[in-house]
Amino acid sequence: MKRALACLVFFLSTASPVLSQQALIGVAAPLSGPSAILGEQVRDGAITALTSEGAAAATVAIVEDDACTAQGGKAAAAQFVKKKVAAVVGFLCMEALEAALPALKEADIPVITVGVRADGLTDRREKTGWPVWRLAPRNDEEAAGVAAIIPRIWRKEPFAIIDDGTIHARDVAEALRSAAGTQSLKPVFLDVFRPQLDNQIGLVGRLRKSGATHIYASGDRDDVAIMARDAASLEAGLTFAGGEVLRGSGEIPLQPGTVMIGLPDWRDHADPAVLLSLGARDIIAEGYVLPAYAAAQIALQAIADNAANPGAELDATTFSTAIGSVRFNAKGDMTPSPYGAYLFDGARFVPLGDG
């Protein structure tokens, strides 16, 4: 199955009382081009959910390669409409999804995206009428998460806010500064640092002189890792935090004690039975696998509850999924925000309490 590409149809063979008639679910993923590895994660997660024990026997999954392009998205949508799917899950790229939505809207087919973060997708939902819901976070959700979490966990600490001057980094830093101000908290140091330097000893010295003990650094992973490394070498006693980029790979090892405000590792929340089901198919539960599994579960439940109008269920229901309970707000965004605080223990990020 992992080697199969687009336009595959999977049938189940056992009886199920959940659905009274055949339900077709579309799976849109880039199975060609530079994003094919990610697309395979979407396909594998969704197909496993739709073919696992307990799924509806009458379910048919129709997989289409959207290629992460407008042309691919439009072609995928045409196939979903032609085959009269009841819902679609997947879509990692805005170009493909935006091109697909007019046809899916016309056919009244709801879409659950697991990868598109563009704020405008759901901000415009009321105006466009697009039948779209998403498990992916919004672009502005990281800034909101940082602004909500850092003032809470560092309320009693002298903290600094620094950023690398890029638009996203400055937006996050400003959101944090503003949120702290509304709680009568003021950073002892604000600065813009030069990124991609071999060392940040000078910056560490200025931070230590300012009296800050905790620093939120809005920038790339390796820049934060270098700051923390240099602070440790100087025995400066500084705690560094950054955004979800810290979970990625880099050339510089992260220092134990580094804090990340980001998304959870969904494997830590997954139903063990789901992980076993994936493992039995030699599927590693990484990247988009578990979100796609959850999206397929949501689609199945919505169709089972209201086959004539599954979109109405998406607006009103709290769903039990492989990654926990999921609900969508009035815009179609996942709520509450999944962002949290995590501490790097030298090997992995573990949940950090409020302290």
- Asked if 314 and 110 count as a contact pair (C-beta separation under 8 A), the reply is yes
User: What is the bridge-based pairing of β-strands 87-90 and 111-113?
Assistant: parallel
CATH code for residues 9-137+267-322: 3.40.50.2300
pLDDT of residue 23: 82
Name beta bridge partners: 23: 59
The two domains 9-137+267-322 and 141-262+339-351 share their CATH topology (first three levels equal): yes
User: What is the bridge-based pairing of β-strands 159-163 and 189-192?
Assistant: parallel
The tens digit of pLDDT for each residue in 330-348 reads: 999 999 999 999 999 999 9
CA max distance for the chain: 70
Residue 170 — φ and ψ, nearest 5°?
A: -70, -35
pLDDT of residue 355: 43
pLDDT of residue 52: 79
pLDDT of residue 142: 96
Domain 141-262+339-351 has CATH 3.40.50.2300: yes
pLDDT of residue 150: 98
Distances (CA, A) of 297 to 20, 22, 47, 175, 318: 17, 16, 10, 35, 12
Q: CA nearest 49: which of 306, 316, 319?
A: 319
Residue 315 — φ and ψ, nearest 5°?
A: -80, -20
Give domain limits for the chain.
Answer: 9-137+267-322, 141-262+339-351
Which parts of the chain sit beneath pLDDT 50?
1-20, 355
